Chains A and B, each alone.
Chain A
Amino acid sequence: MSAPLQRPKRKNPILRTRLPTAPPAARSRMAHGLTAGAARGELELQVCRDCGATQYPPREACHACLSDRLAWRAQDGRGELVSETTLHLSYELFFRERVPWRLGMVRLDAGPIVIAHLHGDCAPPPARVKVRACLDKSGEAALFAVPEKETPNMADDRQLREMTCDPKFRKVLVTDGKTALGQALVRALVAAGADLVWVGHAEPWKKFAGFDELAALPQVTLVPLDVTDSRNVREVAAEIGGRVDILVNNAEHHRAHGIGDRQGVETARAEMDVNYFGLLRLAQEFGPAMRARGADGQSSAVAWVNLLSIYALTNFPPHGTFSASKAAAHSLAQCLRAEMRGSGIRVVNLYPGPIDDEWNQLLLPPKLAPAALAQAVVKALQSGVEDVYPGDVAQEWLARWRDNPKALEREVSS
């Protein structure tokens, strides 16, 4: 079993904060096929459509029959650890700071032999293991072998934690605690072991059910935060930005209008102001401090979570202006991801279908319960993925979109 994670000692303020370093990030275009799967938490390998061979590493043609008809297929990752080694010396800054580092060679049941980072609980070879595709601190796919069966405190493994963003003993900012989702997020993060949750709340005169109970949680500290107010965002960032390890931006403005059923631009502008400019304001003010703390000990700054929408991929005309604002936020989140990557801060984007709230009242189920979405956020942080499509609607839209985006555009407009 892994040693259970202990609450880290308080930081020695005399010592220089270690700068973040990143593992080697160069990948071929083919290798990014692995990245695409890892971003969603899937191990996907190339499978030949002609001879059925599964191959690794990724390349342009089948290693068995030279066919170029290759398809990325999800794998269960099961296999046998055939050898292991422990790295004690590395010229890569990232690994130099983290040796000793355990590596192993795994023969997947699907055929290929892969080299993978090796969890501390994996028995010496020969042993059954499961290979996952993780995202490393560079945001690139890395294979990680864990024991086939879950072991106690498996998530607390030192090497595995370099791939994940576990909220345990971390300090989190949830930007809007007034919605049902915000409250569910706070509770889920507290249950996952977060040390401190700052809960943003705008328009202090508006009270919502459950808010007082939330404020009474010992881990919770309320902060007046309105993402439409640049000075307020700057002041809150000045106050706590240097302490935030995980930022969850769930502030959202949602109205159910297309173009023709609402005069003027005021509603659309309000959506953009919260959903797009709100993210921009937060990123400008909190981003620098978080980037500086990407390697700040066990509880370093580690993740930035954006509440987007499956409508960011293709416009849902009955909620057309909302969809457009989420598409803008989706694009900006890509920019944020690029700017955060060098510091090891993961930008996690959530693309839920309709949430079960008042603005989706007229949509038929299935709708995503706020508590289920909050659980998906915690799971994403614990497992280290960066793109999350929680719930049946999001999964179905994603499958249709990946298959034929034009078809989805037509289907949702009819």
Chain B
Amino acid sequence: MSTPRRAKGRAGARAPRRNPANRPASPLAGLAQGLAAGTIRVVDLTATLSPEFPHISLPPEFGQAWPFRIEEVSHYDERGPAWYWNNFSCGEHTGTHFDAPVHWVSGKDLPHNAVDTIPPERFIGPACVVDCSPEAARDPDFLLTKRFLLEWEKRHGRIPARAWVLMRTDWSKRSDDPAAYQNYDETGQHTPGPDTDAVRFLVEERDILGFGTESIGTDAGQAVHLRPPYPCHYFMHGAGRYGLQCLTRLDRLPPTGAVVIAAPLKIRNGSGSPLRVLALVPGAKPRENLR
């Protein structure tokens, strides 16, 4: 029978051992401590799911993704006296959402290419935030180039492997005005995105985890006219990488140093899913508008 052998006057010896810098014993303990102390902040990069939030619109003869819709089941009433709940419906590519490689024809035969089979460690990675907001404000058709990325690396260092590269355009600030957010004219949608060389550079020379944008689509609004059409979808998913779309609050992230957590719903053979995207950001005070 075990006895409280170590209980006699030795409790002090069992307290966590602290080093002189007061460092916690493990990185996870440090994370928990940082969150509790506020030295690590959590920034929600997710748009609120609502019926009004703009949804992707394809030419009308194509099949269409469902927009987000919600129907009340009961509201403390005769349909359910003590409870309130809703049924909602939406496509896999609605609101802030994740694109899996199987979404695109170029990624259809890859292993682990659907939201249910992607290894879960891929859902967490460091974030490189490339600020294109002045360029996007000047030109809604702005294309992020390889040269632009190399300039960014001169200031912030090399983009590490397995990083999320997030293209900050402040486009999400238009989301209260669906017409401005979609930005259609008679030639289609005009929203910023990467060009073909930039995508190939990120995949082939930097081995990134995925690419994220604030607009609808990881590709630019006019990307059907690029070669190949929709290069970000084509190359990113063709190489087994991921996409994040309709992100918000990228202006709250530093250029480097944040960690993004983006875990989609586990839909069997799902091509994507709406999700909550969180960023862990060091520093007690918000650091905004960093370039």
Contacts and interface: CB of A to CB of B under 8 A. Distances in A.
Given A205-B179, A205-B182, A232-B51, A270 B64 contact: yes
B63 A266 contact: yes
Contact of A205 (B54, B61, B71): B54
Given A229-B69, A230-B69, 9 more contacts: A203-B178, A205-B57, A205-B179, A206-B184, A228-B69, A229-B67, A232-B52, A264-B63, A267-B63
Contacts of A228: 67, 69
Given A226-B51, A229-B51, A203 B57 contact: yes
B230 interface: no
Contacts of A232: 51-52
B57 A230 contact: no
Contacts of A218: none
A229 B49 CA distance: 13
Contacts of B69: 228-230
A139 to B, nearest CB: 30
Nearest to A263: B63
Contacts of A231: 51, 70
B181 interface: yes
B71 A206 contact: no
B63 A204 contact: no
Nearest to B189: A205
A207 interface: yes
Contacts of A230: 69-72
Nearest to B68: A229
Contacts, number: 36
Contacts of A266: 63-64
B181 to A, nearest CB: 7
20 contacts: A204-B178, A204-B179, A205-B54, A205-B181, A205-B182, A205-B183, A206-B184, A207-B185, A228-B69, A229-B51, A229-B69, A230-B69, A230-B71, A231-B51, A231-B70, A255-B61, A264-B63, A266-B63, A266-B64, A267-B63
Contacts of A226: 51
Contacts of B185: 207
Interface string B63-85: 11001011110000000000000
Nearest to B51: A229
Interface in A264-300: 264, 266-267, 270
Size category of the B interface is 10 to 19
Would you call the interface of chain A mostly helix, strand, loop, or mixed?
Answer: loop
A257 to B, nearest CB: 10
Contacts of B70: 230-231
Nearest to B180: A205
A65 to B, nearest CB: 59
A167 B64 CA distance: 37
Interface in B151-197: 178-179, 181-185
Contacts of A267: 63
Interface in A181-229: 203-207, 226, 228-229
Interface string A298-340: 0000000000000000000000000000000000000000000
Nearest to A224: B52
A4 to B, nearest CB: 43
Contacts of A206: 57, 184
Contacts of B57: 203, 205-206
Contacts of A229: 51, 67, 69
Contacts of A205: 54, 57, 178-179, 181-184
A267 B58 CA distance: 13
B209 to A, nearest CB: 31
A266 B63 CA distance: 7
B49 to A, nearest CB: 13
Contacts of B71: 230
Nearest to A202: B67
Interface in A236-282: 255, 264, 266-267, 270
Leading 5 A-B pairs by shortest Cβ distance: A205-B182, A229-B51, A205-B179, A204-B179, A204-B178
Nearest to A269: B66
Most buried by B among A226, A228, A229: A229
A206 B181 CA distance: 12
A178 to B, nearest CB: 12
Interface in B189-213: none
B189 to A, nearest CB: 9
Nearest to B181: A205
Contacts of A204: 178-179
A264 B63 CA distance: 10
B147 to A, nearest CB: 32
B185 to A, nearest CB: 8
A311 B228 CA distance: 43
Contacts of B52: 232
Contacts of A255: 61
A225 to B, nearest CB: 12
A274 to B, nearest CB: 12
B286 to A, nearest CB: 31
A270 B89 CA distance: 13
Nearest to A234: B72
B198 to A, nearest CB: 27
Contacts of B54: 205
Nearest to A266: B63
B199 to A, nearest CB: 26
B78 to A, nearest CB: 15
Nearest to A270: B64
A253 to B, nearest CB: 10
Contacts of B51: 226, 229, 231-232
Nearest to A226: B51
A229 B50 CA distance: 10
A267 B71 CA distance: 20
B34 to A, nearest CB: 39
A229 B70 CA distance: 8
A255 B181 CA distance: 28
A273 to B, nearest CB: 9
Interface in A354-388: none
A316 to B, nearest CB: 19
A269 to B, nearest CB: 9
Nearest to A262: B63
A114 to B, nearest CB: 49
- Residue of A205, A207, A226, A266 most packed against chain B (CB within 10 A): A205
